[in-house]
Structure 1
Amino acid sequence: MPKSTPVRAPLHTRRIPWRALATAAVAALLAAFLAPAAAQAAPPRESRPIYSYAHAVRESVWVDTGLDEDGDGTSDRVAADIVRPAEPAREGRKVPVVMDASPYYSCCGRGNESQVKTYDASGHVVRMPLFYDNYFVPRGYAFVGVDLAGTNRSDGCVDVGGRFDIQSAKAVIDWLNGRARAYTSRTGTRTVKATWTNGRTGMIGKSWDGTIANGVAATGVQGLRTIVPISAISSWYDYYFAQGAPLYDGGPDDLAGYVESDAARAHCAAEQRRLADGSPRSGDWTPLWTERDYVKDAAKVRASVFVAQGMQDLNVRTKHFGQWWDALAKNGVERKLWLSQTGHVDPFDYRRGAWVDTLHRWFDHELLGYDNGIDREPTADIERHPDQWVTSATWPPTGTRATTLHPAPGAVSGVGTLGPRPATGTETFTDDPKLGETDWAAHPTTPTPEKTGFLTAPLTHDLRVSGTSQVTVTATATTASAHLSAVLVDVGPDTIRDYADDAEGITTLENRTCWGASTPGDSACYLETAAKTADVDYTVFSRGWADLGHYASLAKGVPLTPGRSYTMTLTLAATDHVVPRGHRLALIIAGTDRGLIDPPSTKPTVAVELAGTSARLPLVGGAQAFAHATTGTTTTPAPGRLKGVGAPRTTSHIPGD
């Protein structure tokens, strides 16, 4: 992607005959003369907090989107609240922009402390949620908080990731770059231009906010230099469904109603109906989902992408970052990645100091053009144990190979082996919607009727799974509908973040730390957090689900013919997990995963045909690493019920904090 070049101050020196340097006094004078120029010669590597936050300019504009979503006959305007340093404009210098476009600025709040925007009597923003303005404005950036269409002070209707959502933010970037019109009020005629910015914009945000960053980047809009999506959606179909299996008991119309403003609620019934009609609970892919699929447009992305994701996020699951990451890689997009053990948690709340420092350096590099070396550092940071991080030069690591493993019958029906050789035979399970992955993984070596499991022997060497796995299942159901779940389990003791807890792996403490400058109305100080951990005997580290009736196509599910076999490949959530020496790798295949997918209309008994069933895992070192890790013998844990985290909490259909 095009890079901005840092301004390098020229080294100006006066030509002085060497004979004139005969005395020490003259030499000292020359040294004093040269010192400032030499200091200016070094290119800047870090923006410094040299500007006043207390005296920053706070203003609001309403940007014309060019769309009339609410059908009132006038073009919708979206509100953008701005905090920017006053000094650069007075000195004739332009600043870049950090932008967070969100539907949550009034209804629900942002961050661990659920902050909302507040305003003074004149309607100017007083408190901007999160630390971005406090930290970056003194360092020479503007911060822009955009209310998505139909929320807070913006016109229009909420369309949940559709073109109005995306245009809400894209229009602001167009305005920042002189391509759109903005006004000083919601209904007035007085226009305003963004003369204070160079147009270089970096978008950031968690969940829905980060999703908008993905969607805007997929338009290829000029001026958007980088995005930082945190636990963000890349395809809205995959938020509500997993290959035909419904994931939540709501739909995008419910979500729109949750965040829309009172004004939108009064005018947007037609949009609500369109959302409901376009997202049937059948799990069929409709045009509504095509509009909200950003992965298909990855080739248009001009911006660099810095992804942060919790590997145990069961709200916005890691399939979203995995498919987005892979699509961006195919198109040569510059990328960086953080993967934590948490659930749906912002890096500010699990690795605060390192996150702020890395984000600072990333924006300095991408928006100011500073050569600070961040582009030459390892691509990925991965949390291997709570608060213990490793790096990976590339991700997935060089040498990662898709390796096919096959389930085979074991000595006891319902508990088989997992290895490199194909096998024949059949294993059966009966769907029990009252049970889920934690129940299955608690009995990996014991046959139970609701699952079938396959395990390696205890590993003699570590085995690293890095990337997206696929499990192909050939199955016969006794009824006309059946759902499938496939989970990968690390069987062995460990201490992990307690992602199933309500806080999803963190504990909020009572002390505060400060990240930037404060004003009486906008504090830069936030409650600290610590890792909330659990001691476990197993860890479910990847999972995937599907409706077998969608075996042929996501476009249309069909009733199954009892007794007929069908083959379907489940795409599992992307991950980076090391199964340590002495542990066992398990593949479990079952039906309804309680609390994570809705059950089918029937409770089928499913026969899994082993000859047509396999797991394709991205192993670092490939088949050779698997052979190495499964050579020899180690102590086998005694069979019995194992302990994991509590059952995953029932996830809401709100992709926010």
Structure 2
Amino acid sequence: MPIGARVTRLTYRSLVVAAAAALMTMPLSPAGAHNAPARESRPVHSYQNAIRESVWVDTRLDGDGDGRTDRVAVDIIRPREPDRSGRKIPVIMDASPYYACCGRGNESQRKTYDANGDPVQFPLYYDNYFVPRGYGFVAVDLAGTNRSDGCVDVGGRSDVQSAKAVVDWLNGRGRGYTTRTGTERARAHWTDGRTGMIGKSYDGTIANGVAATGVEGLETIVPIGAISSWYDYYFAKGAPLYDSGPEWLSDYVESPGARARCQAVQQRLIDGAPRTGDLTALWSERDHVPDAGKVRASVFAVHGMQDLNVRSKHFGQWWDALAAEGVERKVWLSQAGHVDPFDFRRAEWVKTLHRWFDHYLLGYDNGIEREPMADIERAPDRWSTDRVWPPRSTDATVLRPGQGTAPGVGTLSLTPARPGTAETFTDDRERDETDWAAAIDRTTPEKAGFLTAPLNRDLRLSGSSTVRITATPTTTSAHLSAVLVDLGPDTIRDYAASGEGITTLPERTCWGPGTAGDSSCFKETRARTKAVDYTIFSRGWADLGNHASAATGRPLTPGKPHTITLDLHASDHVVPAGHRLALIVAGTDRYLIDPPASTPTLRLDLARTSARLPVVGGAPAFVRATAGAPVPPGRDASRPLDGVAEPREIRPVPGGDSR
């Protein structure tokens, strides 16, 4: 990915921010003329006496077709002291569909209100921590949820406009009202309009979508485990990832009143998202990646590399698009699943987020934009950093599968297989990637595996991979899976277990002041780990029927070879010396994709199959790691390897068990 284009823009932005910081922190009296500029906001404002209010912002859309434009509920908490002095403040915003139906965070907190309808509890810690430091916090109910009008359209125009309209209102461009149906106007006189959006899962997806509109006043976004393309949430190049579509999620989050008035929207979601996996206009509207060039905000992305709900492909393609456009960006990549960094690296996360918002919303020159771009979790609670990500020496390296000494147990190297060389496997919908990896050294009918010899030095893969497959099916339908595996003992976060890599503890820590109705104290967590014999670190799927078009599937011709490219999920993984790198190609990955209509046997053409992997150091690094490889340690090849627990079936709820 291009990195050089990023440098000029970052340097210019840094100068602007530094200048703004100097102006904002300049002392007003000569006596303080030589004081150092402030580098961190302090908790100097009263949380208990903060202003708590609700406003209804006009979205200028009529999603429910009732003849009047929809208003979304905006619950606000802001420090009283700046309001008294006339000083304007920036805003941190979390726009969500989950504030009433399901809750936010590891403890599923919901909004609460007093007898007058004024907000009492704001879920999560953003209000407790940042309001005393001079920020306003705004919690937006997306259209069709909680106290908002309209309908949920699952990532569509209404969802995005629900939050964009609030950014416009904060910047004096929109209309707000003191009640849901009244005419008394509410104006955001108290803010300078500088807004940062944050949120996990669906909430972070809305932040991506609003940033992709290029709205003025949105200075930064912090998407955590967020979707970048809703099609890729429900399908992988035609292969369905769930047994339902967006209408299920819409029904799940909508307020009871919205369900009755939004049947037409529900039907449009059904009609526009056929289970064939075709890329329709509905999905194109919900793809933010092509609009990365409109993004004005800086982006601090967080993603679990083992997130099996919002898979890391979403992060990878969004990151690559932002990089191509020179957008200021930073990333944390964890070993966890769909988990908020507040629950896997709490103290460091709050500290870093504080400095990020101070820089991009208050203009403090604290140097965060000059620090390493990436934090990567290498082992549970052990992190490394990279100045840029992926590292500059990363190069796409093409590895080739080859035949081994037993059927389905082949080699993986830089050398192409001889023309006509093939392996055969039969789709088994009762097997998954953990079954395949556990039997990597044995011939089994449902997969073909290809392995390097044990490495003589570490080999790092950093970024997104693809696998190009040419296969001949025996039936008119077939699904394909490809996974990358690190074969060797390790201790990892148990991402497939309950908690997705964390265990929630009874003890609490507090992050700012609280009130009787809004505590700042949250349950602590620790890493939930597992000793394994292998680690699956990247995966991807496709419907072979989409071989001719990523947008449209078609029946296969039995006995005819078809070629398709599978997009594997972004990752950053080091295969240690002594371990082996493996590529597995198979059919249905149980619980992660739905099976095809038939049960095909596929003949894999090895000469026309390859993996394009982001190797740090490129092909020379691969050669050094595999040349003169040591003899593998003695092991009973018939003993199944011990991997993580079988992945549980996941319903399509961006937010999972730890919303």
TM-based fold match above 0.5: yes
Letter in 2 for 1:302: R
Partner Cα separation in structure 2 for residue 635 and residue 423 of structure 1: 23
Q: Deviations over 1:428-473 (max 9, x none)?
A: 0000000000000001111100000000000000000000000000
| Separation in 2, partners of 1:291, 1:356 | 34
Call closer, same or farther: CA 1:520–1:304 in 2, change over 3 Å.
same
Report the counterpart of residue 629 of structure 2 in structure 1. Answer: 633
Q: Higher Cα Rg: structure 1 or 2?
A: 1
1:447 to 425, 443, 446: 443
Identify the residue that residue 6 of structure 1 maps to in structure 2: 21
Measured against aligned partners, the alpha-carbon deviations of 1:496-553 in whole angstroms (never above 9, x if no partner) come to 0000001100000110000011011100000000000000000000000000000111
Given that 2:111 and 2:119 are in contact with CA atoms closer than 8 Å, whether structure 1 keeps it comes out as yes
Alignment check: 8 A CA contact 2:504 2:523 kept: yes
Matched residue, 1:643: 642
Question: Which amino acid is the alignment partner of residue 611 of structure 2?
Answer: A
Specify the SS of the correspondent of 1:156.
Answer: coil
For residue 479 of structure 2, the aligned residue among 483, 507, 511 is 483
Question: How many residue pairs were aligned?
Answer: 635
Counterparts of 2:397 and 2:488 in 1: how far apart (Å)?
22
Partner Cα separation in structure 2 for residue 174 and residue 208 of structure 1? 21
- Is the contact made by 2:111 and 2:123 (CA closer than 8 Å) also made in structure 1? yes
Does structure 2 conserve the Cα–Cα contact (< 8 Å) formed by 1:149 and 1:157? Answer: yes
Separation of aligned partners in 2, 1:373 and 1:649: 42
* Change over 3 Å in CA distance of 1:624–1:139 after alignment to 2: same
Give 1:37 deviation, angstroms.
Answer: 3.2
Equivalent of residue 511 in structure 1, options 501, 507, 512: 507
Using a 3 Å threshold, how does the CA distance of structure 1 residues 609 and 49 change in structure 2: closer, same or farther?
A: same
Output the CA distance in 1 between the equivalents of 2:147 and 2:258.
10
In the alignment, structure 1 residue 402 sits paired with structure 2 residue 396: yes
Q: Which residue number in structure 1 is paired with residue 376 of structure 2?
A: 382
| Secondary structure of 2:33 counterpart | helix
Instruction: State the match for 1:360 in structure 2.
Output: 354
Structure 2: distance between partners of 1:646 and 1:556: 35
Aligned match of 1:464: 460
Give the equivalent residue in structure 2 for 1:26: none
Question: Normalized against structure 2, the TM-score is what?
Answer: 0.95
Contact in 1 for aligned 2:482/2:541 (Cα 8 Å): yes
Percent identity of equivalent pairs? 69
Higher deviation after alignment, 371-380 or 5-14:
5-14
Tell me the C-alpha RMSD between the 2 structures: 1.1
Deviation at 1:38, TM superposition (A): 2.2
Secondary structure of the corresponding residue to residue 132 of structure 2: helix
* 1:534 maps to 2:533: no
**Match in the other structure for 1:559:** 555
CA 314–416 in structure 1, closer or farther in 2 if over 3 Å, else same: same
Q: Which residue of 584, 608, 615 corresponds with 2:611?
A: 615
Equivalent in the alignment of 2:249: 255
Counterpart position of 1:547: 543
Letter of the aligned partner of 2:524 in structure 1? E
Once the 2 structures are TM-superposed, how far is the Cα of residue 610 of structure 1 from its aligned partner? 0.6
The letter for the 1-side match of 2:87 is: R
Partners of 1:543 and 1:236 in 2: CA distance: 18
Shift of 1:11: 7.6
Of 65, 70, 92, which residue of structure 2 is paired with 1:98? 92
- Aligned amino acid, residue 244 of structure 1: G
Corresponding residue number in structure 2 for 1:579: 575
Q: For residue 5 of structure 2, what is the aligned residue in structure 1?
A: none
Q: Secondary structure at the match of 1:174?
A: helix
Matched, 1:653 2:649: no
Deviation at 1:648, TM superposition (A): 1.2
Q: What residue identity is the alignment partner of 2:457?
A: H
Alpha-carbon displacement from aligned partner over 1:86-115 (angstroms, at most 9, x marks no partner): 000111100000000000000000000000
1: CA distance, partners of 2:533 / 2:186: 61
The letter of the residue matching 1:646 is A
Give matches, 1:104-503, under 5 Å.
104-424=98-418, 425-503=421-499
For residues 126 and 468 of structure 1, the distance between their equivalents in structure 2, rounded to whole angstroms, comes to 44
Contact 1:165 1:212 in 2 (8 A): yes
Report the Cα offset of residue 423 of structure 1: 0.6
2:4 counterpart residue number: none
Is 2:213–2:295's contact at 8 Å kept on the other side of the alignment? Answer: yes
Partner residue in 1 for 2:597: 601
> Alignment partner of 2:476: what SS?
coil
- Cα distance, 1:554 vs. partner? 2.4
String of CA shifts for 1:396-454, please: whole Å, max 9, x gaps: 01100000000000011110000001012000000000000000000111110000000
Give the deviation of 1:7 after TM superposition.
3.6
CA distance in 1, matches of 2:384, 2:480: 34
Note the alpha carbon deviations across 1:561-580, whole angstroms, 9 max, x for none. Answer: 00000110101000000000
> Does structure 2 conserve the Cα–Cα contact (< 8 Å) formed by 1:283 and 1:554?
no
> Matches of 2:527 and 2:575 in 1, distance apart?
21
Residue by residue over 1:366-396, the C-alpha shift from the partner in whole angstroms, topping out at 9 and shown as x without a partner, is 0011000101110000000000000011100
2:70 paired with 1:89: no
Contact 2:26 2:37 in 1 (8 A): no
Residue segments in structure 2 that go unaligned for 5+ positions in a row: 1-8
**Counterpart contact for 2:373–2:388, Cα < 8 Å:** yes
**CA contact 2:472–2:560 (8 Å) conserved in 1:** yes
Q: 1:258 to 1:442 in 2, by over 3 A?
A: same
* Secondary structure of 1:563 counterpart: coil
Structure 1: tracts of 5 or more residues without a match = 15-33
Residue aligned with 1:6, SS:
helix
Aligned equivalents of 2:528 and 2:337: distance in 1? Answer: 11
User: Equivalents in 2 of 1:52, 1:100: separation in Å?
Assistant: 22
| Alpha-carbon distance in structure 2 between the residues aligned to 1:577 and 1:511 | 32
Amino acid at match of 1:552: A
> What CA distance in whole angstroms lies between the structure 1 residues aligned with 2:513 and 2:319?
34
How far has the Cα of 1:44 moved from its partner?
A: 1.2
Deviation digits for residues 262-285 of structure 1 (CA, Å, limit 9, x no counterpart): 121110000000000000010110
Deviations 1:109-147 (A, max 9, x none): 000000000000111100000000000000000000000
Is 2:402–2:417's contact at 8 Å kept on the other side of the alignment?
A: yes
1:236-257 superposed Cα distances (whole Å, 9 cap, x missing partner): 0000000100000111001000
Rounded to whole Å, the distance in 2 between the matches of 1:594 and 1:266 is: 36
**Partners in 2 of 1:552 and 1:186 — Cα distance?**
50
Give the secondary-structure state (helix, strand or coil) at the position aligned to 2:307: coil
User: How much has 1:12 moved relative to structure 2?
Assistant: 8.9
Moved over 6 A (4+): 11-14
Residue type matched to 2:643 in 1?
Answer: G
* 3-state SS, counterpart of residue 325 of structure 1: helix
- Aligned partners of 1:412 and 1:260: how far apart in 2? 54
Distance 1:648 1:392 in 2: 31
- Give yes or no for contact 1:482–1:603 (8 Å, CA) kept in 2: yes
TM-score, normalised to structure 1, is 0.96
| In structure 2, C-alpha distance between the alignment counterparts of 1:263 and 1:600, rounded to whole Å | 38
